[in-house]
Amino acid sequence: MPSKAPETETLAGTNGGASRHISRDERLIFERSAPGKRGMELPPLDVPAVDPASVLGRDFARDSIEGFPEVSEIEVIRHFTRLSTWNYAIDLGMYPLGSCTMKYNPRVNEFVARLDGLASEHPEQPAEVSQGCLRVLHDLQKCLLAITGMDAATLQPAAGAQGELTGLLMIRAYLESRGNARKKVLIPDSAHGTNPASVVIAGYEVQNIKSNERGQIDTDHLREYVKDDVAALMLTNPSTIGVFEERIAEIAQILHERGALIYMDGANMNALAGVTRPGDFGVDVMHLNLHKTFSTPHGGGGPGAGPVMVKKILEPYLPVPVVVQKESGQYALECNRPKSIGRVRAFCGNFGVLLRALAYTLAYGPGIRQATEDAVVNANYIRKHLEGIFDLPYNLPSLHEVVFSDARQKKHGVNTMDIAKRLIDYGFHPYTTAFPLIVPGAMMIEPTESESKEECDHFIIAMRAIAAEAEVTPELLKTAPHSTRVGRLDEVAAARKPILRWKP
């Protein structure tokens, strides 16, 4: 493979005109491999060498790994640096993916997460030499409880979806202790897909409930659904159309009167921090996505962290271990909690993510409200400048995000995905397409507080220009993007005959 002429083969991809990020094509690392090269050397062995076949036994020893790469350090640097230039990122510009909250990831958080004495610590080391780590966890817990107005927390869940499951298992354990776990969990049709998926793993049935014409929960309708077999309502507030559930108090009352609980998906806490507290408006259990509201980097899909906050009644059911501060002032991991739902992840959760979230919170302090305000101003500013141009299916006060639809552009044969792909040519990452499900052809825009007025203006100009193009040259949108290393990729072919690994 390496003997082929690279000019003709690998540079072909870039000749289709100007592109923003691409310098040249790059083969897979396996295609650069040649026997005898390596990119990392170890200090010499300072104890007697052993022969694996005789120590482990012939049946357990392995020969070399077929196809494994053999490349030098500089080749690794260039390979991954080149790949990185094919990505868009929040460090490059606005990333208005609604519901995903792509905000600035402070660099100091990366620095402190790598400190010797934090990154180096083993989760099983004795508490007496882990006081620093445990205090980080305890301090973060205190901050998150203050922000949410809840009573107790677990930091263990590895992501929002695992937080959902953890919260549901606690609801189940609580209801079981009262004699009946019940059968159903109610989920509005505007919810994230993780909600129903988590409900099933918690052993409950999903009961979908329709939103009303305002995209909100219809309380009369809700009353009919809330019977004695309902364990909880899973509510995203503000909802996925970026609107606060105005009748939240009544909703809480309806649930609580029948002995059911309210779970809040805190994915949109970015709109509430410092302004209102879920603990005050009737929520019994909720999770936060620290990789959203609390700025920890998404890294192309993760890691995240999904702490769960609960009211007093659910505290006995928190997963083990629980971080506590003893009377002596020492911190400890408490495992002996007989009513606990058990463990949801090995060790103490995604500590490195939790630590970054604490660094973010400390940077703002009470000023976190300003971040919320700026996020809301940005969303409303964009809404104001686009609402005459794109269809606004729910004309309700927006908080941190605004959801348009492609209804007007559809007349020209252009859909939300075409507009999204064309945005790429204007140098922006697209908004979220086709979600929430209650909006056909949804265009869900969340600028976050990290965007300047100038960046918002550029985005507005781009969206207006695309709307104009949709009327005159719809084909330009339907074949977009035109500026990237590859054009629209054939996803159908990828799924029909999956190629999931490189082979020699």
Q: Answer yes or no: are the C-beta atoms of 420 and 393 closer than 8 Å.
A: no
* Closest CB to another protein among residues 117, 338: 117
Q: For the chain, first and last CA: distance in Å?
A: 9
- Alpha carbons within 13 A on the beta-carbon side of 234: 37
**List of residues 6+ apart from 233 with CB closer than 8 A:** 185, 186, 187, 222, 226, 251, 255, 260, 261, 262, 263
Judged by CB under 8 A, which of 67, 388, 413, 440 binds another protein? 67
Nearest to 188 by CA among 132, 253, 236: 236
Judged by CB under 8 A, which of 153, 171, 186, 199 binds another protein? 199
Residue 149 burial by CB count (10 A; 0-12/13-18/19+): exposed, middle or buried? middle
Q: Which residues, numbered 475-494, are part of the site for another protein (CB under 8 A)?
A: 481, 484-491, 493-494
Q: Which residues, numbered 389-408, are part of the site for another protein (CB under 8 A)?
A: 396-399
- ω into residue 96 within 30 of 0, thus cis? no
Q: Would you count residue 95 as binding another protein (CB under 8 A)?
A: yes
Sole window of 69-77, 308-316, 402-410, 465-473 interacting with another protein (rule: CB under 8 A): 69-77
496/164 Cα distance (integer angstroms): 32
Neighbouring C-beta atoms of residue 488, cutoff 10 Å: 13
Sole window of 133-141, 228-236, 407-415, 439-447 interacting with another protein (rule: CB under 8 A): 133-141
Q: Which residues, numbered 242-261, are part of the site for another protein (CB under 8 A)?
A: 243-244, 246, 248-249
Q: Count of residues binding another protein (CB under 8 A)?
A: 205
* Closest CB to another protein among residues 110, 151: 110
Q: Would you count residue 18 as binding another protein (CB under 8 A)?
A: no
Q: Which residues, numbered 419-478, are part of the site for another protein (CB under 8 A)?
A: 420-421, 424, 429-430, 435, 449-453, 455-456
Q: Which residues, numbered 318-347, are part of the site for another protein (CB under 8 A)?
A: 319, 341-347
Q: Would you count residue 386 as binding another protein (CB under 8 A)?
A: no
Q: Would you count residue 3 as binding another protein (CB under 8 A)?
A: no
- Residue 241: strand pairing partners: none
164/263 Cα distance (integer angstroms): 8
Q: Would you count residue 100 as binding another protein (CB under 8 A)?
A: yes
**Using CB under 8 A as the criterion, what x/- string covers residues 31-60 for binding another protein?**
--x--xxxxxxx--xxxxxx-x--xxx-xx
Q: How far is the CB of 258 from another protein (least distance, A)?
A: 21
Q: Answer yes or no: are the C-beta atoms of 154 and 141 closer than 8 Å.
A: no
91/188 Cα distance (integer angstroms): 34
Q: How far is the CB of 177 from another protein (least distance, A)?
A: 14
Q: Would you count residue 121 as binding another protein (CB under 8 A)?
A: yes
443/394 Cα distance (integer angstroms): 12
Judged by CB under 8 A, which of 277, 410, 458, 478 binds another protein? 277
Judged by CB under 8 A, which of 2, 7, 62, 338 binds another protein? 62
Q: How far is the CB of 353 from another protein (least distance, A)?
A: 6
